[in-house]
Chain A
Amino acid sequence: MKLNSEKNHEPLVHLTRRAYMSPWKAIGIRGVAIVASLIVSGIVALILIEKLNANPGRIFDFYKCFIDGSFSTEGMTWKFFKNLAILLCISLAVTPAFRMKFWNIGAEGQVLMGMLGAIAVAKTCSSLPNWLVLILMLIAAVLCGIVWAGIPAIFKAFFNTNETLFTLMMNYVATYFVSYMLLVWVPSGNAMGIVNQETKIGWLPTVIHNYFLIIVAVLILTGILFVYLNYTKHGYEISVVGESNNTARYIGINVKKVILRTMILSGALCGLTGFLMAAGLDHSITSTSVNGQGFTAIMVSWLAYFNPLTMIATSGLIVFLDMGGSKISEVFDVRGALPNIIIGIILFFIIGCEFFIRYKINFRKKEVVDKSSKPEPVPVPQEEVKEENQTDEDEMPSAEQPAEETEQKEDN
């Protein structure tokens, strides 16, 4: 045994996957990460921002920018929740597909097509009553989203094409299609401007506040999607297809049907977001109207482990940082890239700490090997048992686990 342990040199550091961590410990790790990110970003800001460089006392203004960016005025607070709602809505849209391990990165194009559909209706049907136009806009937007998500889904289901590349390329097609339509609508080749600015046909009505309806609609959707994914047969089928196509087929799930149905849902939700943006916010369209949110939504969904309720928090975090970044640019009079560096640092820490929550870092315990001359095979020491119970590692039937356990026993 001794010979054996000398030969099998354990690496200095190795990683094991955690199956469980107590919520408090996880929150603690995240808290430490956020504090560390704020300190590091503060130092970077002190170096890079000229006005801070000259007057380091303003560092508190720097941190205050994050709060001010989202909550300094009533209008800003509304804007925060509206931005959160829009980003959340796109994140909700991509989530069912992600749960199925269908990597739909085409939300950008699907939302844009939804907007295009809605704007096209608003532009051509401006003589109809407002409620009818709004309904038609909604239908057009949802249909456009479904078509844009359905095309790659059909190819995936029947020809097993790579959905990641396919949906990505569909984004570019959507962008150029919008540019083309703008050329048709605006022959001078410039911005199209606000549709029906005078009559407000095809504008969502104002209830309490311009953004109120959007926020409420997305909140309701979040609840519905949470239930759909976790407590319905459809949601279960999505999870099974995500785990393994073969298992799904074995238990009698029609995989093609599930892929198509789920992507149609994804596309419809993207189209709906497009409708909300067209009818509730922009009343106009440019090829960059979605502004990368279709991609940001991927991060929101991943950070929340594909849980719709957690996504409220993660999209809130992204929007909070983004609006804080704009405020930093405004207050310290710096170009847009600089706040992005700051946001990047903070996100780096926040995403990075998830690694420590998911994995455990084990260091080599070399002292133990040297001291214990006689091998003590079977009984595991009390301490070890306690620790393992805490992390529940032995419940995880992974391939590395038994090997590691025997190794530890041998060492002791």
Chain B
Amino acid sequence: MKKLISLIISVAMLAMIILTAASCSSNTETVTALKDSLLPRQSVGTFTVPSDFKIGVILLHDEDSTYDLNFINGIKTVQAAFGMSDDQVIIKRNIPEGNECYEAAIDLANAGCKVVFADSFGHEDFMIQAAKEKPDVQFAHATGTKAHTAGVSNFHNAFAAIYEGRYLAGVAAGLKLNELKEAGKIKGDYPLMGYVGAFTYAEVMSGYTSFYLGAKSVCPDVQMKVQFTGSWYDETEERNAANTLIAAGCDLISQHADSLGAPSACEAAGVPNISYNGSTYDAGPNTFIVSSAIDWAPYYAYLIKSVVNGTEIAADWVGTIETGSVVLSDWNSDVAAPGTEAKLKELIAQFKAGTLKVFDTSKDNFITVNGEKLTTYLADVDTDDAFTPDTEAIKDGYFQESVHRSAPYFDVRIDGIELLNQKY
């Protein structure tokens, strides 16, 4: 409905849009072919889907948001690989986090969808409501936290172990900082990183901490400052936050927000940038190093195969490097420090073998709080009204992220990371 306000303006802009339409229609999916990606998006293989099978996808926004675009690209990949027709994949865009989500889910179920998927955190309760009403349809939800406690057997959560991708990106950052340090190019007494975050909550905190730990594993004296914007997509705010961090003396910037604000600010200032959610090489060819991202195609493939074959869908599904869900897109060897590639390949092998843990609490001087090694932490895994911490997350010498549920729950404030502000 909000759209209607801007309708009149849309009409005025129509002529312009027509003029640009020809150029827009062709360049939707042209990822720059840089050097080989270290962890490229993998093929999901082939699979025969019955002609009466349908999947419905509910999105908070549309292609204009990189977050939702990532989900659209995922389902389109699977659609092409599995040879599904356009009628078999129904995408509902711009569905707010309210009763409309429930209506959309029911509508998709009525339209014959065997699986209905929603992409935004706030959709969760409305998906559960729909799942209770349509027990013979499977409902899947990305980033949600309630599937393992809701007791609704046809409702499922999914996320990816993106902290492993962040860690790898952090290693690339740390090696770059070492290079700068050797060349005497760091601005302060010690290497300093800046991080533009969206909100101060577990998903972002888990992300920047794993990034920081990656850098620290190769560059032990690194420190980090975090500036929050309070929005998932706000180009101006993100640019301002990046500029604030650069002015505070940061030698390298990374971000967890969806616009090109931070990468373009880095390019303007000549500060190296590690990106997220897809390559931003075009916005910063001289500063972009690498980007970690979640590829949702493997999850869609898993969902479709499970429903067609009649096998159980996990209440909490965690995509990993192994499943092809954690990817590093584009690799800019012009900016990255020499030798980074070999190091990352070695670490990827360790992740696959399960020998490397991001939140390793057994190492000395690695994860500390107020100077003391972190040995115990109660995380809030089971969502309740009071948000009480309930689960001991540190076991066997590491913080077990995404083990008790798929969505991240690491929200410890560790030494070496300074939060310049907080935004909820």
Which residues does A use to contact B, with CB under 8 Å? 44, 47-48, 50-51, 73, 75-76, 79, 87, 183, 186-191, 193-194, 197, 281-284, 286, 288-289, 291-293, 295-296, 299, 318, 322, 325-326, 329-330, 333, 335-337, 340-341, 343-345, 347-348
Contacts and interface: CB of A to CB of B under 8 A. Distances in A.
Interface residues of B, number: 48
Interface stretch (B92-100, B187-195, B243-251, B309-317): B92-100
A299 B10 contact: no
B129 A197 contact: yes
For B6, B91, B93, the residue with the greatest tally of chain A CB atoms inside 10 Å of its CB is B93
Contacts of B5: 292, 295-296
Given A48-B17, A335-B63, A189 B200 contact: yes
A326 B92 contact: yes
* Minimum-distance CB pairs A-B, first 9: A292-B2, A189-B424, A191-B122, A344-B7, A194-B125, A335-B62, A281-B99, A344-B10, A193-B125
A47 B10 contact: no
Contacts of A333: 86, 91
B11 A341 contact: yes
Interface stretch (B102-110, B323-331, B369-377): B102-110
Contacts of B4: 292, 295-296, 299, 318, 322, 340, 343, 347
B124 A322 contact: no
B122 A190 contact: yes
Interface of B: 1-8, 10-11, 14, 17-18, 21, 25, 61-64, 86, 90-94, 96-99, 103, 106-107, 110, 121-122, 124-126, 128-129, 199-202, 380, 387, 423-424
Contacts of A73: 107, 110
Interface of B is mostly: helix
| A interface secondary structure, majority | helix
A181 to B, nearest CB: 12
A333 B96 CA distance: 18
B1 A296 contact: yes
Contacts of B125: 191, 193-194, 197, 284
B92 A330 contact: yes
A347 B64 contact: no
Contact of A188 (B103, B129, B201): B201
A114 to B, nearest CB: 15
A197 B107 CA distance: 21
A197 B128 contact: yes
Contact of B110 (A75, A295, A343): A75
A186 B387 CA distance: 8
Taking each of A73, A87, A189, A347, which has the highest tally of chain B beta carbons within 10 Å of its own beta carbon?
A189
A191 B387 CA distance: 13
Contacts of B93: 329-330, 335-336
Contacts of A186: 387
Nearest to A179: B424
Contact of B96 (A190, A291, A322): A291
Contacts of B110: 73, 75
27 contacts: A48-B18, A75-B107, A87-B1, A190-B122, A191-B121, A191-B122, A194-B129, A284-B97, A286-B96, A286-B98, A289-B96, A289-B98, A291-B96, A292-B5, A295-B4, A295-B5, A296-B1, A296-B4, A318-B4, A322-B1, A329-B94, A335-B93, A340-B4, A341-B11, A344-B8, A347-B8, A348-B11
Contacts of B387: 186-188
Nearest to A348: B11
A51 B25 CA distance: 11
Given A75-B107, A87-B1, A190-B122, 8 more contacts: A197-B128, A281-B98, A291-B2, A292-B1, A292-B3, A296-B1, A347-B7, A347-B8
